[in-house]
């Protein structure tokens, strides 16, 4: 089922504007991510969609029906919390069965459905355990099974992997995508991790300070950012000859070609599978370039060397003088290293 938010406004207290005239259409069967830093309003929007918060003004529609005044129980949604909200005093099976028992489904049906779901999330042999006996990742899978049990029209996930270790997070991310591909439930995911948003979702809505800055596919928001914020939030940017490029789109060489800029290698940082080169540009600023290990080895780079920087025209995402805020945001990281050096 599609879910629509129209002209949502929400204020907390006197000064804090959580959501400012937000409109978003989530297509049926899609996996949409609400991406943004903390305070951007993404969780608030999600909770308003769920009915856990009420908007000051605006409308929420599910499958075309106005549900703005409806309580969470009545919306047919499934919600997954960052810290699992597991029913601590119930077993895993009872947790998953909860929604069905509330709806007074026959016991046999409930048992069958729970079995099915536990199998789906890979927790079959943990059915009789209590949540505290499970790992974080397992608890979140249980929470998902619990939400899916009631066959929700829309699935809402509030930073579901935020409380987990990095590798568990990565694993569950992939698993969520596969689950979505099988089940096709309309899903909205809130996250502050751009990598997560890009890996998992069909559509990303980038939010900042209570507004939606851009809605588009992961490719679109990364390569064709609509605003400075989106540009700098989605990934790092480097300024080369007044043009903004993503560090890994830049190539280096020892011989100049047309349009190349000269620079000196300041630092070569090996980050495992990739290498980050910090360059001192002629105008005194620093630019970052990301290369693979192979490329670095081929070039034989070392500090103090002179190289030529080639920003491919097709990969330029903007001009520096038109996007000063983005440049500012990007250079914030450099200021500290400069101070130390």
Partner 1 sequence: MVVRPAWKYSLRAVALGYLALLLLAPVVFIFIKTFEHGFSTAWDYVTTPAAISAFWLSVLIAAIAVPLNTIFGVGTAMVLVRSKTRGRKILDALIDIPFVVSPVIIGLSLILVYGLHGWFGSWFIDRGIPIIFNPLGMILATVFVSLPFCVREVAPVLMEVGTEQEQAAATLGASSGQTFWRITLPSIRNGVAYGVVLTTARALGEIGAVAVVSSNVLGSTVSLPLLVKYRTQVPGPGGVSAAYATGTELAVMSLIVLVAMTLLAPQRKDAR
- Which residues of this chain interact with partner 1, rule CB under 8 A? 50-52, 71-73, 77-79, 81, 83, 85-90, 98-99, 102-103, 143, 146-147, 150
d(Cα 298, Cα 160) in Å, to the nearest integer?
A: 42
Count Cβ atoms below 10 Å from residue 272 Cβ, excluding itself: 6
Residue among 146 and 323 whose Cβ is closer to partner 1 = 146
Nearest approach, Cβ of 75 to partner 1 (angstroms)? 8
Residue among 80 and 277 whose Cβ is closer to partner 1 = 80
Q: Is 340 exposed, middle or buried (0-12, 13-18, 19+ CB in 10 A)?
A: exposed
269-to-78, 154, 251, 279, 288 alpha-carbon distances in Å: 44, 44, 16, 11, 11
Q: Are strands 211-216 and 243-245 parallel, antiparallel or unpaired?
A: unpaired
Nearest approach, Cβ of 338 to partner 1 (angstroms)? 44
Residue among 131 and 318 whose Cβ is closer to partner 1 = 131
Buried b (16+ CB within 10 A) or exposed e, 52-87: bbebeebebbbeeeebbeeeeeebbbbbbbbebebe
Q: Which residues contact 331 (CB under 8 A, 6 or more apart)?
A: 285
- Give me the residues paired with residue 65 across strands: 62
Nearest approach, Cβ of 330 to partner 1 (angstroms)? 37
Nearest approach, Cβ of 179 to partner 1 (angstroms)? 19
Q: Which residues contact 91 (CB under 8 A, 6 or more apart)?
A: 127, 128, 129, 130
Residue among 96 and 275 whose Cβ is closer to partner 1 = 96
Nearest approach, Cβ of 60 to partner 1 (angstroms)? 14
Residue among 48 and 327 whose Cβ is closer to partner 1 = 48
Nearest approach, Cβ of 91 to partner 1 (angstroms)? 12
């Amino acid at each position: 089922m599609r879910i629509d938010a129209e002209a949502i406004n929400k204020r907390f207290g006197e000064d804090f504007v959580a959501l400012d005239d937000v409109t978003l259409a989530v297509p049926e069967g899609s996996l949409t991510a609400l991406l943004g830093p903390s305070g951007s309003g993404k969780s608030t929007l999600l909770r308003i969609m769920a009915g856990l918060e009420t908007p000051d003004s605006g409308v929420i529609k599910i499958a075309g029906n106005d549900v703005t005044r409806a309580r969470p129980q009545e919306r047919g949604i499934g919600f997954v919390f960052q810290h699992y909200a597991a029913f601590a005093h119930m077993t895993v099976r009872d947790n998953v069965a909860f929604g069905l028992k509330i709806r007074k489904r026959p016991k046999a049906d409930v048992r069958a459905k729970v079995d099915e779901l536990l199998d789906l999330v890979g927790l079959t042999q943990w059915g009789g355990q209590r949540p505290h006996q499970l790992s974080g990742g397992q608890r979140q899978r249980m929470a998902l099974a619990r939400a899916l049990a009631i066959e929700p029209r829309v699935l809402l996930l509030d930073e579901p992997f935020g409380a987990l270790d990095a590798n568990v997070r990565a694993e569950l991310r992939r698993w969520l995508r596969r689950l979505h591909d099988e089940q096709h439930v309309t899903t909205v995911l809130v996250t502050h991790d751009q990598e997560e948003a890009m890996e998992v979702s069909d559509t990303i809505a980038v939010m900042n300070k209570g507004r939606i800055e851009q809605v588009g596919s992961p490719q679109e928001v990364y390569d064709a950012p609509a605003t400075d914020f989106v540009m700098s939030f989605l990934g790092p940017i480097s300024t080369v000859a007044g043009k903004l490029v993503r560090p890994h789109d830049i190539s280096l060489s020892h011989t100049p070609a047309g349009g190349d800029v000269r620079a000196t290698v300041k630092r070569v940082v090996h980050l495992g599978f990739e290498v980050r080169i910090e360059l001192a540009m002629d105008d005194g600023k620093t630019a970052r370039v990301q290369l693979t290990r192979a490329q670095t080895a081929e070039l034989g780079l070392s500090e103090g060397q002179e190289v030529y920087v080639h920003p491919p025209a097709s990969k330029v995402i903007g001009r520096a003088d038109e996007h000063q805020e983005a440049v500012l945001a990007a250079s914030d990281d450099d200021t500290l290293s400069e101070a130390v050096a």
